Structure 1
Amino acid sequence: MEKEKAKVKSGNVVDFKVLKRLFQYAKPYIKQFYLLVFLTIFLAILTPIRPILVQKAIDEYVPNGDYDGLVLMITILIGHLIVLAVVQYSHTYLSGWVGQTIIKDIRTKLFNHLIRLKLKFFDKTPIGRLVTRNVSDIETLSNVFSEGIAALIGDLLQLVFLMGFMFYLDWKLTLVSLSTLPLLIFSTYVFKEKIKVTFNEVRNAVSNLNSFVQEHVTGMNIVQIFNAEKREMDKFKEINREHEKAHIRSVLYYSIYFPVAEIIQAIAIGMAVWYGAREILVDASVGPGVIIAFIMYIQMFFRPIRMIADRFNTLQMGIVSSNRIFDLLDNDEHMADEGEYAPEEIKGEVEFKNVWFAYNEEEYVLKDISFKVKEGETIALVGATGAGKSSVINLLSRFYEINKGDILVDGVNLKEYDLGALRSHIGVVQQDVFLYSDTIRHNITLGNPDITDDKIAAAADLVGVKKIIDRLPNGYDYNVMERGSTLSVGQRQLISFVRAMVYDPKIIVLDEATSSVDTETEELIQGAIEVLMKGRTSIVIAHRLSTIQGADKIIVLDKGEIKEVGTHQELLDKDGFYSKLYNMQYKEVAAI
């Protein structure tokens, strides 16, 4: 498994181009965002008022014995705290709401983009990495809005207002109190740079971990069949160890930085108390309330600076995640869907004209393929594994683009068809049936509300699976679990037939549709296949040559080239490729 490389950039923490693009998603909620900015500013102004109120109470009312004035000041202080609490609640809730709402939109857009990418993209991209992009990376983005930009602006504004109030009370005491500030700024910068690298390592470790777990849980049967549990466990331990090391490094930096910051803050408070007490003893130029207010201000002042490092790293991680997400969104490996031809009905005539196709450039798996299937005709594609049979049907449904040549349906080039309309007329039954962890009904209809229960039951009865489904707990509401694990291979295959039939396609493609079922089940669906093919153009791929003897035409493929075309008997009479394949299978059956 290819590991992602950490991309740690030095220099500017904030990539404004990425932020500008990211904030395009905030436009639908611009009023809420402006309200959040207003609350941030209001909070920054409101917070520094409390120490001033405490100072006035101590220096103006307590020495004079003004009880009524003291009660009034305490009442104002309580009112201030209540207002502050309401504003903080509103700010926290609104920032969370804005962040989660925006990432909901981004996640929807990303998933919508993913489901339209070419299958070629998924052939070369680990699924676990895509899961990380759609879940973990996007979740990181929410922090950009809830704990990044707004909180960072709030912290900076709060520092400005705090410094203003401090200079208002006593400028000399302010300079003494903030004399340790350069040391704190330096330690914060070092911490920010170290933790930025660590956070990149953590994100990459999470992506690698997701990819490994997803692949191995999906392919667990292979791990157990080949007794590879220990080897794969060792690989997992190594990946998990890298994940652990990355997290521990971040914990180490936090465990160093915060105690250092506390010590620097304690020194600042100590210097403020020392200088303030000296002023009181020498010429009483300051009161005790000023010292208490400064102690509160120093605590308020140092907290945002400590948090700014976290804010910057939250912002940096959001930008890293944004880059990954935008790289995926900018991927243009979409199947071109510029056609507008969308007929409600088609005849089902299919023609390949000099088609060349390669999954990788110049490594052609189909070479100059030409054939024609008339309306209602059945053709069979046969050949050894890797001959190109499945590639033919993948191209017919436009899962991949051809390199050269043309493919026509009813005489119209596939590129002129609306992609959705084209695929709605083609029913595919694959060898490896995929069922979702959902009910049988959903796996048949795929959520299409136009397919009624009566239509499902009629198709199931035609295939011969209706009685089997009726015997299951909850019938059509039976949950087949992930990949249909609670059903037999034959049952999954039969359900895939029902799924193809309810959409009533004009062109039917059977890709090794009976190769994974037992003889009894095969006999059960053979009759259904004949009914399914009736009146439809059918393209059949089969290793069992006995199942396609009645085809109107058999095309023999070898290494991507058409070697022979004809009926079953015509090809046997030629004594060529097909004859050899047939005789080989006949001998295998006879030996059994």
Structure 2
Amino acid sequence: MSTEKRLLSYALKCKGTIIFALVMLSIAVAAELTGPFIAKKIIDDHISGIEQPWYETDKGEHAVAYNGTYYTRAAYLDPADHTNSPVQIMQIGTRFFFTDQPLPTEGERSFENGTLRIENVDGLHESPAIQLSTTDVVAFYEPEIGPIMTLILWFLGIIVVASFFKYGQNYYLRKAANLIILRMRNDVFAHLSRVPVRFFDHQPAGKIVARITNDTEAIRQLYTTVLATFFSSTIYIFGIYIALFLLDVRLALITLALLPILFIWFKLYRKYASKFNRAIRAKNADINANMNESIHNMNIIQAFNQEQARMSVFEKDNLAHYHLQKKLLTLNTLTAFSLSDLLKNIVFVALIWYISGGTGGLLTLGVLYAFVDYINRLFAPVSQMVMQLTTLEEARASGTRVFELMDETGTDVDDETISRPKGLVTFDDVSFSYDEEEYVLKNLTFTVQPGETVALVGHTGSGKSSIMNLLFRFYDPQSGTINIDSVNTKTISPQALRAHMGIVLQEPYLFSGTIASNIAYGKPDATREEIETALRLVGGENVFPNMKDELDSVVTEKGSTLSSGQRQIISFARALLADPAILVLDEATSSIDTETERLIQTGITSLKHNRTTFVIAHRLSTIQDANQIIVLDKGQIIEHGTHESLLRAGGTYAHMYELQQGQAG
């Protein structure tokens, strides 16, 4: 499914709210477009209307007294009342003249020696005339004040209505957009929980965060800004063309030439803008990844005096981002403002040429004003649409990146449960590779009985952590089987399997919250008493003197305000509270000092009691009581036995142990 269709599918989830918002927007646009028509009516029927024929009448509502006689404009009379000869008022500049011999209104006007002259294509027309005083002019305009005020009030009312509906459409459209992004972010985050760990091996955290935050925010702009702009602009353009044809068909036909130009304009803009926007979003993700990496490792950067080197990398990415933005800005400036003004001026020139050439026919001042107003209004939505094409392309590029993440193959999270395993673990001829090329585990075969402790020993890269990754089903082996209680782990959902497994890492990760919430991470419904008991069993009373009060202490991200020993104790308590059938201790004591390790040895014993335990250790002194020790080298088992039997064998394990003992001495 294309990005556009998937974005549409999300919009359809809030289609009721969006449709309601767009209906309100349509009403607001329609109301706004009545403005020039009202202005035309004021100009033609009331301001310029004073030049229409006047007839002698009796005193009345619209009658004006002049030289002892009452006159009423023809617009306020029935045709049957046009019995006597009309009189006329004509304007030249700021002067008004009264004549009882009506003249044509079209042509060049002049007044000299009491004679009013009109010269047009039909010749010269003359009539005696009297210049009106200011008082007389005001008197003749007085009947128009009421209708003009009425129209102005109508116009103000329409503006208020339009503002109300524009507010409504803005509110409901943004509400719908926020709901859409809420669902989209939930879907993306939920999918991340389904994506196998292999995916995160090749994706910097900053880039993933950028997709969930920055890219979805760009998509939100699609629904709030782009959708409203394109919809309102389309209605504007459609409504303006209807108004233009109602005003004058011939002039409106001239403006139709704009449509193919605008279409070509949009096509060319999208072709180049989409390329720039994709590059900008990708570079923005690189910047986020760089910043995320720098922030999380600032202590290492400062310790090795690499601030300037990191700054150089950041400046390089930032400069590349700036140049891409500059290219896009140049494109926007050329296509949006410059081209818009150019086309508008061309239309005005064509309009002036058409009218000045006499081929335009008779145009009233109101029609001309409304036509110019609509032409100006026509290019405003066009420019807005072009400017929003940038946001549209950004949203499309962001949508593509978000949906690429959501298209990653994942494992469905189900509610399947299994009974607590006894803890019989068997690796049968297991081989595994991270990259499908170089195998890190080769033909591994061993069995761990329920309740036993097995230690994995070997140099860095020997495959110890890979065994744990397979056991937790973060990965599956390319060949061979891993069985728990004689059941192939591939037939058990990862969630059901991990519900009975626990792990304590060399560098435990603590989440923002409290000590209590971190201990109860694997069992959120644990009681306060259970949390305190778990902490006590792993030696917490020795590390947290005021244990009850300490449980409510705030933990920052990664637990940076706690010591290594305190973080590890919390990690032990978390594993113990979860009560796993199979436990993994991944070099769990290597990051703490010997004294702290001695304090929590009782806790480690409690943790391993009555459960199958895998221990990865570099300190061989901590695994002497293991039921079996597996020595690995380059993914293969080279030795297998107890501590005493391996020492007697005098092989790799014995050499490693003697070396460590010598170093300790």
Query: TM-score over 0.5 for the alignment?
Result: yes
Contact residue 29 and residue 162 of structure 2 kept, 8 A: no
Shift of 1:111: 0.8
Shift of 1:351: 1.4
Shift of 1:566: 1.3
Contact residue 340 and residue 416 of structure 1 kept, 8 A: no
Match of 2:407 in 1: 330
Match of 2:365 in 1: 288
Match of 2:221 in 1: 143
CA 1:291 to 1:470, structure 2 compared with 1: closer, same or farther past 3 Å? Answer: farther
The answer on 1:200 being equivalent to 2:273 is: no
One of 495, 509, 513 as aligned partner of 2:570: 495
CA 1:473 to 1:508, structure 2 compared with 1: closer, same or farther past 3 Å? Answer: closer
CA 1:479 to 1:473, structure 2 compared with 1: closer, same or farther past 3 Å? Answer: farther
Match of 1:8 in 2: none
CA 1:107 to 1:98, structure 2 compared with 1: closer, same or farther past 3 Å? Answer: same
Alpha-carbon separation, structure 2, partners of 1:302 and 1:584: 83
The answer on 1:28 being equivalent to 2:13 is: yes
More strand by share: 2
The answer on 1:133 being equivalent to 2:211 is: yes
Query: What SS does the corresponding residue of 1:124 show, helix, strand or coil?
Result: coil
CA 1:585 to 1:184, structure 2 compared with 1: closer, same or farther past 3 Å? Answer: same
Match of 1:3 in 2: none
Q: Which deviates more from structure 2 when the two are superposed, residues 546-555 or residues 251-260?
A: 251-260
Aligned residue identity for 2:426: E
Aligned residue identity for 1:464: G
* Alignment deviations for residues 359-401 of structure 1 (CA, whole Å, 9 cap, x no partner): 1213111111111111111111111111111111111111111
Query: What SS does the corresponding residue of 2:573 show, helix, strand or coil?
Result: helix
Shift of 1:270: 6.4
Alpha-carbon separation, structure 1, partners of 2:630 and 2:21: 67
The answer on 1:303 being equivalent to 2:288 is: no
Alpha-carbon separation, structure 1, partners of 2:190 and 2:414: 18
Match of 1:481 in 2: 556
Match of 1:174 in 2: 252
* Alignment deviations for residues 84-118 of structure 1 (CA, whole Å, 9 cap, x no partner): 11111112222212222111111110111112211
Match of 2:157 in 1: 79
Alpha-carbon separation, structure 2, partners of 1:223 and 1:390: 27
Aligned residue identity for 1:265: K
CA 1:270 to 1:440, structure 2 compared with 1: closer, same or farther past 3 Å? Answer: farther
* Alignment deviations for residues 127-172 of structure 1 (CA, whole Å, 9 cap, x no partner): 1111111111111112222233453233123212101101211233
Alpha-carbon separation, structure 2, partners of 1:140 and 1:72: 46
Shift of 1:183: 6.7
Match of 2:181 in 1: 103
Could you tell me the percent identity over the aligned residues?
A: 36
Shift of 1:246: 1.8
Matches within 5 A, 1:329-368: 329-332=406-409, 334-335=410-411, 340=416, 342-343=418-419, 345-368=420-443
Q: Which deviates more from structure 2 when the two are superposed, residues 474-483 or residues 257-266?
A: 257-266
Match of 1:57 in 2: 42
Shift of 1:194: 4.1
Contact residue 335 and residue 401 of structure 1 kept, 8 A: no
CA 1:470 to 1:476, structure 2 compared with 1: closer, same or farther past 3 Å? Answer: farther
Alpha-carbon separation, structure 2, partners of 1:121 and 1:587: 42
The answer on 1:421 being equivalent to 2:496 is: yes
Contact residue 354 and residue 368 of structure 1 kept, 8 A: yes
Match of 2:396 in 1: 319
Aligned residue identity for 2:563: S
Shift of 1:260: 4.5
Contact residue 337 and residue 415 of structure 1 kept, 8 A: no
Alpha-carbon separation, structure 2, partners of 1:453 and 1:269: 79
The answer on 1:533 being equivalent to 2:608 is: yes
Match of 1:155 in 2: 233
Match of 2:131 in 1: none
Query: What SS does the corresponding residue of 1:292 show, helix, strand or coil?
Result: helix
CA 1:302 to 1:283, structure 2 compared with 1: closer, same or farther past 3 Å? Answer: closer
Query: What SS does the corresponding residue of 1:66 show, helix, strand or coil?
Result: helix
CA 1:447 to 1:546, structure 2 compared with 1: closer, same or farther past 3 Å? Answer: closer
Match of 1:12 in 2: none
Q: Which deviates more from structure 2 when the two are superposed, residues 407-416 or residues 539-548?
A: 407-416
Match of 2:637 in 1: 562
Runs of 5+ consecutive residues of structure 1 not aligned to the other structure: 1-15
Match of 2:591 in 1: 516
Match of 2:340 in 1: 261
Query: What SS does the corresponding residue of 1:400 show, helix, strand or coil?
Result: coil
Match of 1:216 in 2: 294
The answer on 1:118 being equivalent to 2:196 is: yes
Contact residue 341 and residue 416 of structure 1 kept, 8 A: no
Shift of 1:563: 1.5
Runs of 5+ consecutive residues of structure 2 not aligned to the other structure: 51-142
Aligned residue identity for 2:376: Q
CA 1:551 to 1:283, structure 2 compared with 1: closer, same or farther past 3 Å? Answer: closer
Query: What SS does the corresponding residue of 2:475 show, helix, strand or coil?
Result: coil
Aligned length: 571
Aligned residue identity for 1:428: I
Aligned residue identity for 1:57: I
Query: What SS does the corresponding residue of 2:663 show, helix, strand or coil?
Result: helix
CA 1:382 to 1:182, structure 2 compared with 1: closer, same or farther past 3 Å? Answer: closer
Query: Relative contact order (C-alpha < 8 Å, sep 6+): which is higher?
Result: 1
Shift of 1:21: 2.2
Shift of 1:521: 0.6
Alpha-carbon separation, structure 1, partners of 2:18 and 2:237: 22
Contact residue 192 and residue 309 of structure 1 kept, 8 A: no
Aligned residue identity for 2:344: Q
Q: Which deviates more from structure 2 when the two are superposed, residues 457-466 or residues 168-177?
A: 168-177
One of 302, 314, 324 as aligned partner of 1:246: 324
* Alignment deviations for residues 413-434 of structure 1 (CA, whole Å, 9 cap, x no partner): 2123232221121110011211
One of 395, 403, 408 as aligned partner of 2:483: 408
* Alignment deviations for residues 304-335 of structure 1 (CA, whole Å, 9 cap, x no partner): 11122133333332222222222211111x34
CA 1:472 to 1:71, structure 2 compared with 1: closer, same or farther past 3 Å? Answer: farther
Match of 1:230 in 2: 308
Shift of 1:176: 5.5
CA 1:339 to 1:95, structure 2 compared with 1: closer, same or farther past 3 Å? Answer: closer
Aligned residue identity for 1:36: A
Shift of 1:517: 0.6
Shift of 1:471: 4.9
> Root-mean-square deviation (CA), in Å?
2.7
Matches within 5 A, 1:349-388: 349-388=424-463
Alpha-carbon separation, structure 1, partners of 2:547 and 2:525: 25
Contact residue 435 and residue 484 of structure 1 kept, 8 A: yes
Alpha-carbon separation, structure 1, partners of 2:257 and 2:627: 93
Query: What SS does the corresponding residue of 1:406 show, helix, strand or coil?
Result: strand
Match of 2:520 in 1: 445
CA 1:45 to 1:17, structure 2 compared with 1: closer, same or farther past 3 Å? Answer: farther
Query: What SS does the corresponding residue of 1:495 show, helix, strand or coil?
Result: helix
CA 1:122 to 1:287, structure 2 compared with 1: closer, same or farther past 3 Å? Answer: same
Contact residue 516 and residue 552 of structure 2 kept, 8 A: yes
CA 1:298 to 1:469, structure 2 compared with 1: closer, same or farther past 3 Å? Answer: farther
Match of 1:454 in 2: 529
CA 1:192 to 1:341, structure 2 compared with 1: closer, same or farther past 3 Å? Answer: closer
Contact residue 523 and residue 577 of structure 2 kept, 8 A: no
Q: Which deviates more from structure 2 when the two are superposed, residues 71-80 or residues 189-198?
A: 189-198
CA 1:509 to 1:409, structure 2 compared with 1: closer, same or farther past 3 Å? Answer: same
Aligned residue identity for 1:238: K
TM-score (norm 1): 0.90
Alpha-carbon separation, structure 2, partners of 1:540 and 1:175: 84
Query: What SS does the corresponding residue of 1:514 show, helix, strand or coil?
Result: coil
Contact residue 522 and residue 575 of structure 2 kept, 8 A: no
Shift of 1:445: 2.0
